[in-house]
Structure 1
Amino acid sequence: MLNTKQIVVVALVVVLMGGLLVQPIKGLVDKEKGTNQANTEESASSMYTLKSVSEIAKQSINSSLSQDISAIEAHVEKAEGEQKIKLLEQLVVKWDDVAKPIPQGFIYQELAQLSPKFEYWLKAGEAFRAGYTNQQDTVMAAELNRFAIEAYEKAVELDANSLAAKTGLGAALVTGSNNPMAGIALLREVVTADPKNVEANKTLGLFSIRSQQFDKAIERFKTVVEVKPDAESYFYLATSYEKIGLKNDAIAAYQKSKEIAADPTLSQYIDRQIEALSK
């Protein structure tokens, strides 16, 4: 979920109709071809590894936790087989405790390579997706997105009926492949099977905003807030209402977003939006 500052930035982008959120579909399809692509086998040559992302992540946690993690990592380097799997599972818990999804993604990826289980590949995809979402380093975001696609594809291969894996793969293809419509097709498949699926509806809603199909975005985000209301979804719902001139609905949704977020920075932005809509 976006934090308050990120929501405000997205808000400005939506209002100005200038950034990724409202980029035409052709812009997504014509992204630089070096961006993530499905069905690639380039993971081994990536500039990012568990070791490199671990060192980056350690810089933002306290020294005691960093030392604990380093100690386990040292044992992992020497371990093999089941012992290595157990140590990696301990390591992923440590990173989960400090809410660092990027190292978790690489650990689950390694676990899945050692023991190719559906659960490991799914968790790798989820962690990579969490890592690239709102990632400021665009090069890292592209690589994490590619890793997410690969992990979700492996998960779908192991369980073709998993809506979670299909949702993740669909979302990752939309944001990080040269064929976003393949991702949209997967997400539509998910909502056909599960009309109230929050993640699939949210991603489809964002894609609708990006393609300026605000009426479709409204239906998607109405479903999301009905099942799992959050400040971000109400904000996107309000923005979509505003874009098609439904001022009263937009004000009501903005107020809900403000109420749930309970954050001064976002509240100030929403107050300005409501004031403008009330004129």
Structure 2
Amino acid sequence: MQPNILGVQKSQILLVGAAATLLVVLVAFGRTVPHSDKKAMPTAAHMHDGQEGKPIAFDELLASAKQKIPADKLVAITALENKTVRGDVKTQQIDAYKQLYASWDSLNQLPIAAYYLGESAKLENSEKSLTFAANLFLEHLEHAEDPAIAKWESSQAISLLGQAIELNPKNDSLKIKQALLYMNTGEPMVGVQKLRDVVAANPDNAEAQITLANLAIQSNQFDKAIERMESFTQKHPDEAKAVFVLAEAYRGKGDIKKAVELLEHCKTLLNDPSLKAEIDNYIKSIK
């Protein structure tokens, strides 16, 4: 099977960019390699790097959305809201929340729709439903331009993922996703520690190891990144993304010859001609 140099989920890719912590090799689908000046490509998330300020209150978000919808829709939504309050059976509440999700989704109010699906998932308390709801927030984060809304969405997703992790503590993918969300909400060290916990329990987790190496590169700790990736690639020599990141660490350190050598090796691990061409162009740009 071909190694996947872009093997990070799209939602996590955005979060990496939003936290301004990782290289573009992990934040772009359209471009595989970082620019030679090491600046990340702009994304919507970069407009609110660091997630400064407070998250919007859901009541405020809801009130604003209600001002934009037709009167007949508002009446129907209000009736459903009353069901969530008055329902004395959990299944009734779950059903009402799902109907609210569908109503707001049909109105293209995605953050509010995700909130109600999240409330339903919390009551259902299944890993699948909690993860699905969290992913809805992550999908909208890719397009969120308001920092207050983005921070609120991140916090909602963190909570949902936390509940899912409690149900399945061995799911490292959820832990990594949550770690990146913490970086997006201005708590990078919380995210880093969660990544370290994953690596401590499972040193072979490529995603966590590569993410930590990229964090080291971004803070100019090239030797740490090299040490981590050298150790990892010794055990996993066919992991193209790890080889690529190791090359970038050497480039950052100033060892262009070694970086080019590793990039050439990375090409041999790939079958996609377009990816190979991207790496060729990148090699030319750093020589």
TM-score under structure 1 length normalisation: 0.58
Residue 125 (structure 1) aligned with residue 134 (structure 2): yes
| Structure 2 residue 41 is matched with structure 1 residue 16 | no
CA contact (8 A) 2:270 2:276 kept: no
Q: In the alignment, which residue of structure 1 is the partner of 2:209? A: 201
User: Per-residue displacement from partner, 1:72-124 (whole Å, max 9, x unpaired)?
Assistant: xxxxx8x9975976xx6xx99xxxxxxxx999966862441331234432343
Amino acid of the residue matched to residue 149 of structure 1?
I
Given that 1:125 and 1:148 are in contact with CA atoms closer than 8 Å, whether structure 2 keeps it comes out as yes
Residue 177 of structure 1, CA deviation: 1.9
Hey, what does 1:170 align to over in structure 2? 179
Taking only aligned residues, the RMSD between alpha carbons, in angstroms, comes to: 4.8
Q: Map Cα deviations across residues 3-39 of structure 1 (whole Å, 9 max, x no partner).
A: 542434xx12xx3244599xxxxx97x6522369xxx
Number of the residue aligned with 1:229:
239
Determine the C-alpha separation between the residues in 1 that align with 2:227 and 2:117.
35
The answer to whether residue 252 in structure 2 is matched with residue 243 in structure 1 is: yes
1:33 maps to 53
Q: Does 1:154 align with 2:179?
A: no
How far is 1:198 from its partner?
A: 2.5
One-letter code aligned to 2:175: K
**Of 115, 123, 129, the match for 2:124:** 115
* CA deviation map 1:225-250 (0-9, x unaligned): 9287355x544332222111333442
Shift of 1:172: 1.3
Give the Cα–Cα distance (whole angstroms) in 1 for the partners of residues 236 and 29 of structure 2.
Answer: 22
Q: Which residue of structure 2 aligns with residue 253 of structure 1?
A: 262
SS at match of 1:199: helix
Distance 1:185 1:45 in 2: 33
Residue 32 of structure 1 aligns with an amino acid whose one-letter code is E
**In the TM superposition, what whole-angstrom CA distance separates every residue of 1:163-189 from its partner, at most 9, and x where no partner exists?**
444332222112x12221011111111
- Partners of 1:228 and 1:109 lie apart in 2 by 39
Task: Describe the shift of the 1:138–1:118 C-alpha distance in structure 2 as closer, same or farther (beyond 3 A).
Answer: same
Q: Which runs of 5+ in 1 are unaligned?
A: 22-26, 37-41, 48-76, 93-100
Contact 2:130 2:161 in 1 (8 A): yes
Q: Which residue of 2 aligns with 1:7?
A: 32
Alpha-carbon distance, 1:208 to partner = 1.7
Structure with more contact order per residue of length (Cα contacts < 8 Å, sep ≥ 6) = 2
Which residue identity is paired with 2:122? Q
Report if aligned partners of 1:187, 1:204 keep a CA contact under 8 Å in 2: yes
Q: Relative to 1, partners in 2 of residues 1:43 and 1:5: Cα closer, same or farther, differing over 3 Å?
A: same
Structure 2 CA distance for aligned equivalents of residues 102 and 199 of structure 1: 28
Q: Residues 210 and 245 of structure 2 are in contact (CA less than 8 Å); yes or no, is this contact kept in structure 1?
A: no
Pick from 264, 270, 275 the counterpart of residue 279 of structure 2. 270
Separation (CA, whole Å) in 1 of partners of 2:202 and 2:280: 36
1:235 and 1:257 in contact (8 A); partners too: no
Are the aligned partners of 2:180 and 2:191 in contact in 1 as well (CA < 8 Å)? yes
Gaps of 5+ in 2: 1-7, 9-26, 43-47, 63-79, 103-109
Write the distance in 2 (CA, Å) between the matches of 1:102 and 1:7.
30
Equivalent pairs: percent with the same residue? 23
Paired residue type of 2:163 = K
How many residues end up aligned between the 2 structures? 226
Q: What amino acid is the match of 1:180?
A: P
Residue type of the partner of 1:5? G
CA contact (8 A) 1:4 1:263 kept: no
Residues 197-222 of structure 1, C-alpha deviations (whole Å, 9 max, x = no match): 22322322232222122233334445
Q: What is the match of residue 191 of structure 1?
A: 199
TM-score, with length taken from structure 2: 0.57
